[in-house]
Amino acid sequence: MGRTPSNHYHHGDLRRALLQSAEHLLESEGLDKVSLRAIARIAGVSHAAPYHHFDDVDDLLASVATSGFSRLRHAMSNKAEAVEGPPLTRLQEAGIAYIRFAAENPEVYRLMFSSRLRASENHPELAKAAGEAYATLGALLGRSSPNASAAFGAAQAAWSTVHGLAMLIIDSRLDIDRNDAEAVERAAREVTNVLGRGLRDLVSGA
Amino acid sequence: MGRTPSNHYHHGDLRRALLQSAEHLLESEGLDKVSLRAIARIAGVSHAAPYHHFDDVDDLLASVATSGFSRLRHAMSNKAEAVEGPPLTRLQEAGIAYIRFAAENPEVYRLMFSSRLRASENHPELAKAAGEAYATLGALLGRSSPNASAAFGAAQAAWSTVHGLAMLIIDSRLDIDRNDAEAVERAAREVTNVLGRGLRDLVSGA
């Protein structure tokens, strides 16, 4: 126990521990309470330790948001691959997984869309992860829509719908408790039903 | 000019001037920069003057948000009433007006949905204005949907879609400049086209 706290971790493990502590702090206390100092305390390392991996708190938060987009993408594609059926059925399952991710990780989700992190300018890896998540949604809409404009409109409609419902749920704007998984799933299914009907003519093989 | 600055205004005019100054400051500098002191300076009144009308800055911001919901509601119903056509055509025009309002007033729109103002607990007039805006969208969906659950799903889908696109535009998540009115209108029309097709079977008289 005479070691300095940051020696508890191997290099990669420290980074992971800091990210986990940041996410824990974010979800339990909110973005305003997140500082490198508080994160170091939760991870049980010295105040200086986070600087081995991150320039400042926004650099660390960008990594939390990047990891969030990556997990969101995997949640969507895992669900889409697990179901049999036409493209729109798979899109619906991916959309429900998207909304569930936001309901389960509200502060991470909010951070992912926060204007605080100017992704493309300062955090290229965050911009890349966000782009990949968006592309996953686009790929589920099929590659052979009647024309590029229709495909673009379809992707925007799909993203708008799931993002809108996700935000309304986590901002408590609907009479839905975000911790009630069944209520979230029911609302997500109803709203993506409408989306699916709307996209029927736009998505080939639907 | 020997008068104290707040004497420049009649009672109701001071309140209006403070709200206008707050909105100006909000849109030009962002929520973080809004304080009663800064608002008083812009309105050209004493530091004490705002307290004649508002308990604190959140009380004033709640009034800005309340006025925002009221203007949003009028923007939607004016548009819906100005067009001829079936309910879904009127809903689409209202939805486009909704998205345009957000693009033109991004910080006010963000404030309206901010968790900072816990509407129902501390600001009942804000909760009322928000409820009325939501009801306007619901009324455009027609009063005679096949059943209550379908009507509820339709309203949630409509609100999710317009809120989602509005947020994606004002958070610069799409390749759309929020100040480019034509680009905003085009995206809003495409996305509400998808919504309208999705709602066709749910809305009576569509």
pLDDT, residue B200, reads 87
pTM score? 0.90
What does the pLDDT read at residue B119?
59
Residue B142's closest CA among B151, B132, B133, B134? B151
A133-147: string of b/e by CB count within 10 Å (b at 16+)?
A: bbebbbbbbbeebee
Measured between alpha carbons, how far is A9 from B191 in angstroms, rounded to an integer?
49
Q: Is B174 on the interface with A (CB under 8 A)?
A: yes
Q: Does residue A140 contact residue A206 with C-beta atoms inside 8 Å?
A: no
B191 touches chain A (CB under 8 A): yes
Å between A5 CA and nearest CA of chain B: 36
Distance CA A165, CA B92 (A): 18
Measured in angstroms, the CA of B43 and the nearest CA of chain A are apart by 28
pLDDT of residue B87: 86
* A202: nearest CA partner in chain B: B194
Q: What is the pLDDT of residue A10?
A: 72
pLDDT digits (tens, 9 = 90+) for A31-67: 989 999 999 999 999 999 999 999 999 999 999 999 9
* Residue A193 touches partner B, C-beta closer than 8 Å: yes
Per-residue pLDDT band at A21 (split at 50, 70, 90):
very high
Instruction: Give the pLDDT confidence of A178-191 residue by residue, as tens digits.
Output: 999 999 999 999 99
Min distance B152 CA to chain A CA atoms (Å)? 9
Dihedral sign for Cα atoms in the order B24, B30, B33, B34: positive
CA–CA gap between residue B140 and residue B155 (Å, rounded): 9
Q: How many CB atoms lie within 10 A of CB B104?
A: 16
Percentage with pLDDT > 90 across chain A: 66
Is A173 in Cβ contact with B113 (below 8 Å)? yes
- Tell me the chain A residues in contact with residue B196 when contact means C-beta distances shorter than 8 Å: 198
Instruction: Provide the chain B residues 110-169 that lie in CB contact (below 8 A) with chain A.
Output: 113, 115, 130, 149, 152-154, 156-157, 159-165, 167-168
What pLDDT does A3 receive? Answer: 44
pLDDT at B3: 44
In chain B, residues 73-92 whose CB comes closer than 8 Å to chain A: none
Show the 3-state SS of chain A: CCCCHHHHCCHHHHHHHHHHHHHHHHHHHCHHHCCHHHHHHHHCCCCCHHHHCCCCHHHHHHHHHHHHHHHHHHHHHHHHHHCCCCHHHHHHHHHHHHHHHHHHCHHHHHHHCCCCCCHHHHCHHHHHHHHHHHHHHHHHCCCCCCCHHHHHHHHHHHHHHHHHHHHHHHCCCCCCCCCCHHHHHHHHHHHHHHHHHHHCCCCCCC
pLDDT in tens, A149-163: 777 788 999 999 999
Q: How many Å apart are CA A38 and CA A50, to the nearest integer?
A: 11
**Residue B149: closest CA among chain A residues belongs to which residue?**
A190
Question: Among A92, A84, A77, which Cα is nearest to A189's?
Answer: A92
- Pick B106 or A143 by higher pLDDT: B106
- Measured between alpha carbons, how far is A70 from A60 in angstroms, rounded to an integer? 15
Interchain pair A160, B156: CB under 8 A: no
Closest-CA residue of B relative to A203 is: B194
Average pLDDT, chain A: 88
Counting beta carbons within 10 angstroms of the beta carbon of residue B10, is it exposed (0 to 12), middle (13 to 18) or buried (19 or more)?
exposed
Give the residue from B104, B125, B171, B54 showing the smallest Cα distance to A115: B171
Distance, CA of B196 to CA of B158 (rounded, Å): 9
For residues A95 and B42, give the distance between their C-alpha atoms in angstroms, rounded to a whole number: 45
The number of residues making up chain B comes to 206
User: Which of A174, A189, A190, A194 should be substituted to probe chain B, the one whose Cβ sees the most B Cβ atoms within 10 Å?
Assistant: A194
Residue B151's pLDDT is 75
| Chain segment A58-105, per-residue pLDDT in tens | 999 999 999 999 999 999 999 998 998 888 899 999 999 999 999 999
pLDDT along chain B (206 residues), means of 10: 53 88 95 93 94 93 96 95 89 96 97 80 88 88 66 89 96 92 96 93 65
